[in-house]
Structure 1
Amino acid sequence: MSTPSNAPTILEAKDLQKRFGAVVAAQDINIAVGLGDKLSLIGANGAGKTTFMNIVTGYLKPDSGSILLEGDDVTKLNPRQITQRGVCRSFQIPQLYEPMTALENIMVAFGASGRRFSMLRPADDAETVDQAHAMLKRFALDDYADRKVSELPGGVRKLLDIAMALVRRPKVLLLDEPTSGVSVDEKFPLMETVMEALSTEEVTVIFVEHDMDIVTRYSDRVLAFYQGQVIADDDPDEVLSDPAVQKYVTGSAKGGAAKEEAEA
Structure 2
Amino acid sequence: MTSPIIAAKGLRKRFGAVVAANDVNVDIMPGTISGLIGTNGAGKTTFINMITGYLQPDEGSILLNGQEIVGRSPREITRLGVARSFQIPQLFDSLTAIENLALAESALESKGIGGFAILSDKALEKKAGETLERFGLERFGHALAGTMPEGVRKLLDIAVAMVGSPSVLFLDEPTSGVSSEEKFPIMDRVIAATRADNVSVLFVEHDMEIVRRYSDRVLAFFEGRVLIDDKPDVVMNDEQVRTLIIGEDKTHG
TM-score higher than 0.5 here?
yes
The amino acid that maps onto 1:38 is I
**Partner of residue 169, structure 1:** 165
Moved more, 105-114 or 237-246: 105-114
SS of structure 2 residue aligned to 1:130? helix
Residues 118, 247 of structure 1: alpha-carbon distance in 2 compared, 3 angstrom cutoff: farther
8 Å contact 1:36–1:204 — kept in the other structure? yes
**Partner of residue 84, structure 2:** 89
C-alpha deviations, 1:90-144, integer Å up to 9, x for none? 0000000000011111111121121324451315332222211111111110011
Q: Structure 1: where are the runs of 5+ without partners? A: 1-5, 253-257
Deviation, structure 1 residue 84? 1.1
**Partner of residue 153, structure 1:** 149
Deviation, structure 1 residue 9? 0.7
The amino acid that maps onto 2:173 is E
Q: Among the aligned pairs, what percent are the same residue? A: 50
Within a 5 Å distance, the mapping from 1:1-264 to structure 2 comes to 7-118=2-113, 120=115, 121-122=117-118, 124-251=120-247, 258-261=249-252, 263=253
C-alpha deviations, 1:160-212, integer Å up to 9, x for none? 00001100000111001000001111111110111112221021111100011
Paired residues, what number?
Answer: 252
Provide the rounded CA distance (Å) in 1 between the counterparts of 2:41 and 2:112: 38
**Partner of residue 3, structure 1:** none
Q: Structure 2: where are the runs of 5+ without partners? A: none
Provide the rounded CA distance (Å) in 2 between the counterparts of 1:200 and 1:234: 24
SS of structure 1 residue aligned to 2:27? strand
8 Å contact 2:31–2:201 — kept in the other structure? yes
Relative to total residues, which structure has the larger helix share, 1 or 2?
2
Deviation, structure 1 residue 239? 0.4
TM-score where L is the length of structure 2: 0.96
Moved more, 108-117 or 162-171: 108-117
TM-score where L is the length of structure 1: 0.92
**Partner of residue 255, structure 1:** none
Moved more, 153-162 or 189-198: 189-198
Provide the rounded CA distance (Å) in 1 between the counterparts of 2:31 and 2:206: 22
Moved over 3 A (4+): none
Provide the rounded CA distance (Å) in 2 between the counterparts of 1:9 and 1:130: 33
The amino acid that maps onto 2:51 is V
